[in-house]
Structure 1
């Protein structure tokens, strides 16, 4: 007989939605989130119960961890052994939990993130305080349910005779929910519970008079009381946890920073590596060495500093840039009434108090029933002793135990339980003194029953019992607070001096893009001569700069490179510099046209750029400061075929002079150019004729006393007074600066603003360079074509010119 195939035709989204809904419900309720009553996840609860059930308690010898893991997997938690062992190890790590629930012999990991030894090597047992989590569990204080295969019973929650969720905290990620609860000091949490019991409507402010805030097992300094209060009121809040650090003096004027406590759940080895990376990457030159001197006596990280370095400033930098200081975010979600709930502090305390009332009530009911059962037996034994001879005769006349019990019940009106106790009575107890013991036991049982009834019938008596037991736990297990709490979050202030030692260096940039910084010692040894440079290259920039300053390198394609001076490689004066392509990648046809030194990025100065097609733009210098500079950044949005021909640092009072290839020029004030963002394309600076382009521009200072120096492609030079060019407006055609010739007309190769004693280098197409003294040249009017200096027939047309860099370094050094 063939079996017919059965299938359901269902929409995929319904199936997936149903399956994921079930999975999410399981993950949320029974895996990743702690219960608000005992503060445990199911795997933790099962581990503790399995150890207790097997007698692996704190007063007995340690047992192999693998045995416990096997028991947990086989009886309660049908998941991987790794997850069970990891949960078990975490409960034994004193840097993870405030009060360890498991004691472990062997390697159980380290604060450096080292993994624990395999479970076959380690041994474990319940800790003393873990026994308080399980105390009275055998007295029906909590519900027991069938395990996964119905072969065992397991608890749905532990009695938890102390508020474990607040004491040890919790963290976990489930489907759609996550939790992060910090640990607290046991005595403070118990004081808060007691306050809440004495005054059920107590506010968070009142509770915080006894529960100051979290108390991490690794200590540290907690900042931000407002964040703690917000978390206790809403379930979410943020605090700052910073390391405990001291500054110790050393010989020779040096100092060292000693870290003795680090933030919660920070990996010490990773932290030390990150601190040392700051030194190796030269982000922090003040550190000489970083050592881990931790031992069995405690944690100790030593950061040795260089001579005369500001230790407090270094520490502030490390707080900001490493895990010496972290932000801890409360997210107090727990399972409350079988639902994930955002817990406030009052709600957490109330959930625990309600649980304890239930536990003590159920325990009292259990003990009351036990006492009643026992007193019933005692009354039967006392009655039996009073008629002992008749009882003995009745038993001797009986055929067996069952017959004896029936005869006693029929003859003397004993109950089944009393008859069982009588026939099971040992002969040695049939003495005259035994009746006294029974009477004393009856009295004590009557007293116990009265006490238990008082607890069950009187709410205040119930609360009194809970308070007494909490006080006992407080006295037995309280430890001093480890974390210090400070009201305000301290603002971290970092000065540049801390990050980069102030040092004067010589910085050079060549036209071909070779950049380097040279120590003053190397520069002095060469007397500024024998500079390493390729034959066809020339110096674009040379200046004494401070390592705390920056260099902006502008390219012909409208980009710029942001370069902190301290990050430049230190290269000898006589060695070739580092090519700019090793700093950032540039196009093959992109060249460096300007290097501008920057001591500070303020908004009173501007970067002015002029393009080949006559566009001009001005942007605030402050906008050029960036945090990320691993690539070239845009400074002018150029049209296709356009390029930057001039760029410089200017002020509001400066004038701009733009010259074109066909000898037109305009001069206007900086006010004519609106201030725009860094990536804009600018506005029209000069109205070009067809076929004409801008060759370059120059800036004229407000108090200018120099002249304009012009060179043509035919090798003619001339100097013109600034009075020849009055201020106008931008966007005009401009005025001519050369006399027009019918044949072989001069074209402008470049124009510069020069002052007395400045030299200009003129370079031809064949690489011939001519140095021209500007002072001896007489001024000409706009319509002259100047005097010939270069023989272009022999050496080629003039292709570029530049001012010789003034040797200001020696004067700065002196």
Structure 2
């Protein structure tokens, strides 16, 4: 009768997942600290060794080895077994390949290996050191999945494979990333630790300098290595080995001869070529992979007279020519996953090897004792040979002969079996001599084995001698160079940004674009803007210039010119709100371009509520988030306040005059030097003493001989000489420049300095109409005149802005 239990889903899932986790941690994804192998790797090596598929025999089909492993030891998919077998043969993945393969076993370009039916494999020579002495009871054995035969729980691993070949894997809650190391260095460290059990990390790092990747390259950051060896976690930078070669005609090329560990070479070459095609870096003419059987070689051919070092630095930063490697040294230690220090790995390996030597010696001792027992019996039998022969002849059968020998001459059963099985040719004097010689040799061996087992120092001497022999046999030079410091990468803008002239436009509605000179010239009068939109900034700039756009709400938008969307001139371009959110009633009131952000100039900023300040260009340097956020250049006192004017003074010590005019017709002129220099997040000082309901409409830089044009809300236009407005000082009320009427008085909408009497002015109205005015058709008015009516506000709309008519852009 079946028993039904009431269990909660939480308990069932917890218990099942716990068992599943334990299985994949211990039996699949993580290596053992002693032999550095995952179960599938261990089973592959053991099965191939058991099958005689060793380095000194012919290659065999990989499918046969995979089938043996799958059928006898590893009940998982053949593809996962084959992948593990292939990886152990790839000399760009493991420092000392444990498998040799004939056929396509993949490549650094990420190409898959040929199917297992096409490739052939065998154990490599160094694999014999992993399996040496496995038949001498040196390791524990368990039944396989179907209890038909035994498999080892660990291999004797006569060299420190965990560090030499490294490991990578992901299990439930754990991951491991142990880099490969140099075999000679690791064995030297083990030998030192054997003599100095209290060795410090610094002592061990005299031998183990750091990772030694099969792909070579350069590791930077000794502090990261030390932290990793101390805690099991750490980060280093792995940089390709490159050289810059000079070619004819002031050209050069970058040759990459070694790339970082586990970087896909084909993807790396493709990425560099994509940067070239996208013009992300200026100066690369061609990228090609010239790798062959002689070695790896990626050639990056550069254009004439370019900064080759700068381009290389850019590639280090933006491609896998340089990557970071994160140590996460986790392995199974006494059936538990643990993050391990270098000393812990070395000491565990040392303890394991001492145990292997001890078990091997016990096995050899027992075998020698058993043989000595037999030899002693044979010598004794030969000394009474006639009696023995007589006894055997008088016996009924072999068993009876054995029993009679035991009973008559006190031989042991094993000795009696050996005597009965003795061949006639052995009954010579020569054989007696050989047996006595063998007995002596066995006695010496037994004494040696007992000494090893009784004296730990002797055992360590044997271990050290064997480790030194392995190091001598398989030692090879370090491939990876270790550099103490991580090199800082400085990328010149000259490398990233092409030195080319472009045309940049910013429109009233917030569209921004750049186009090539060629596209601009080919487009004629078409600028891609909607009918009601118009340019507020249009200029020929260099791609390396910087663009500042100031909004009416005190926000500054920064764009390097090369980052502005590159489109044909007939296209609209990108709206600034696609990346930076602006309010619906916020508009760009000033746009300026600079070749350097370190210019000494200042901005003169005026708000409609009567504040003014100067702010240095250097104080408005963009922050990291400039692509996504505008940042403050003027702190506004209340939500309704607007910045009405901004101008740039190339010389911060300029001694000129500025003119402010208010809506009610009050004008104030004073020296710029009266305006203090303040930071970006400030409001400034009082610019003009405004009455209730009055606001500043604009600010202009003026000279004594200038003439200003004024437009009112009733459509009246007036010319006024600046000298009519006496220069006083800041924060005064100012003087009236309009005559107050009893009804429907004129109010100033905007004003501007007339640069050239023959150059037209444009009045923009709230009906999206543009009205042209020729200043030379009007005479100067006095302070108390209201000018002449030039716009029919009923039909054309109320004026909102007065500006110089844009001059057609000429390309140099």
Q: Distance in 2 between matches of 1:16 and 1:688?
A: 76
Most deviating of 643-652 and 209-218: 643-652
Superposed displacement of residue 381, structure 1: 1.1
Q: Distance in 2 between matches of 1:305 and 1:198?
A: 55
Kept in 1, the 8 Å contact 2:183–2:475? The answer is yes
Which residue does 1:343 correspond to in 2?
Answer: 340
Q: TM-score, normalised by structure 2?
A: 0.87
Say which of 4, 7, 10 aligns to 1:6.
Answer: 4
Q: Distance in 2 between matches of 1:124 and 1:578?
A: 63
Which residue does 1:254 correspond to in 2?
Answer: 251
The 5 Å alignment of 1:324-723 reads: 324-511=321-508, 515-517=512-514, 532=527, 538-554=534-550, 562-568=558-564, 576=570, 578-581=572-575, 584=578, 593-601=589-597, 625=622, 633=630, 646=644, 648=646, 650=648, 661-663=663-665, 675=679, 696-698=697-699, 700=701, 709-713=709-713, 714-719=715-720, 721=722
Kept in 1, the 8 Å contact 2:659–2:667? The answer is yes
Q: Distance in 2 between matches of 1:345 and 1:117?
A: 37
Cα deviation 1:109-136 (Å, max 9, x = unaligned): 2111122223233222211111101100
Which residue does 1:242 correspond to in 2?
Answer: 239
Q: Distance in 2 between matches of 1:472 and 1:133?
A: 14
What SS is found at the alignment partner of 2:504?
Answer: strand
What SS is found at the alignment partner of 1:447?
Answer: helix
What SS is found at the alignment partner of 2:190?
Answer: helix
Superposed displacement of residue 455, structure 1: 1.3
Superposed displacement of residue 59, structure 1: 1.5
Q: Distance in 1 between matches of 2:788 and 2:453?
A: 118
Q: Distance in 1 between matches of 2:519 and 2:797?
A: 38
Q: Distance in 1 between matches of 2:144 and 2:704?
A: 93
Most deviating of 247-256 and 644-653: 644-653
Kept in 1, the 8 Å contact 2:771–2:791? The answer is no
Change (3 A) 1:246 1:647: farther
What SS is found at the alignment partner of 2:249?
Answer: helix
Which residue does 2:207 correspond to in 1?
Answer: 210
Kept in 2, the 8 Å contact 1:715–1:798? The answer is no
Q: Is 1:770 equivalent to 2:767 in the alignment?
A: no
Q: Is 1:163 equivalent to 2:160 in the alignment?
A: yes
Change (3 A) 1:25 1:653: farther
Most deviating of 77-86 and 599-608: 599-608
Q: Distance in 2 between matches of 1:747 and 1:799?
A: 11
Cα deviation 1:388-409 (Å, max 9, x = unaligned): 2222222222222211110110
Kept in 2, the 8 Å contact 1:334–1:341? The answer is yes
Q: Distance in 2 between matches of 1:144 and 1:693?
A: 97
Cα deviation 1:743-764 (Å, max 9, x = unaligned): 3322322133566779562225
What SS is found at the alignment partner of 2:135?
Answer: helix
Which residue does 2:172 correspond to in 1?
Answer: 175
Kept in 1, the 8 Å contact 2:705–2:721? The answer is no
Q: Distance in 2 between matches of 1:735 and 1:76?
A: 102
Superposed displacement of residue 416, structure 1: 0.9
Kept in 2, the 8 Å contact 1:385–1:435? The answer is yes
Change (3 A) 1:296 1:80: same
Change (3 A) 1:288 1:377: same
Q: Mark the runs of 5 or more structure 2 residues left unpaired by the alignment.
A: none
Q: CA RMSD in A?
A: 3.9
Superposed displacement of residue 144, structure 1: 1.0
Superposed displacement of residue 415, structure 1: 0.4
Which residue does 1:278 correspond to in 2?
Answer: 275
What SS is found at the alignment partner of 1:246?
Answer: strand
Superposed displacement of residue 56, structure 1: 1.9
Q: Distance in 2 between matches of 1:199 and 1:4?
A: 61
Change (3 A) 1:382 1:109: same
Q: Distance in 1 between matches of 2:104 and 2:430?
A: 58
Cα deviation 1:185-219 (Å, max 9, x = unaligned): 11111111122222222322232222222111000
Q: Is 1:320 equivalent to 2:308 in the alignment?
A: no
Which residue does 1:40 correspond to in 2?
Answer: 37
Change (3 A) 1:85 1:685: farther
Q: Distance in 2 between matches of 1:777 and 1:182?
A: 86
Superposed displacement of residue 60, structure 1: 1.8
Change (3 A) 1:777 1:169: farther
Q: Distance in 2 between matches of 1:131 and 1:52?
A: 8
Q: Distance in 2 between matches of 1:557 and 1:580?
A: 21
Q: Distance in 2 between matches of 1:129 and 1:768?
A: 87
Change (3 A) 1:727 1:113: farther
What SS is found at the alignment partner of 1:125?
Answer: strand
Superposed displacement of residue 103, structure 1: 1.4
Kept in 1, the 8 Å contact 2:510–2:576? The answer is no
Kept in 1, the 8 Å contact 2:718–2:781? The answer is no
Q: Distance in 2 between matches of 1:684 and 1:147?
A: 90
Cα deviation 1:584-615 (Å, max 9, x = unaligned): 47888876544321334459767777778889
Kept in 2, the 8 Å contact 1:760–1:801? The answer is no
Kept in 2, the 8 Å contact 1:514–1:577? The answer is no
What SS is found at the alignment partner of 1:210?
Answer: coil
Q: Distance in 1 between matches of 2:590 and 2:12?
A: 66
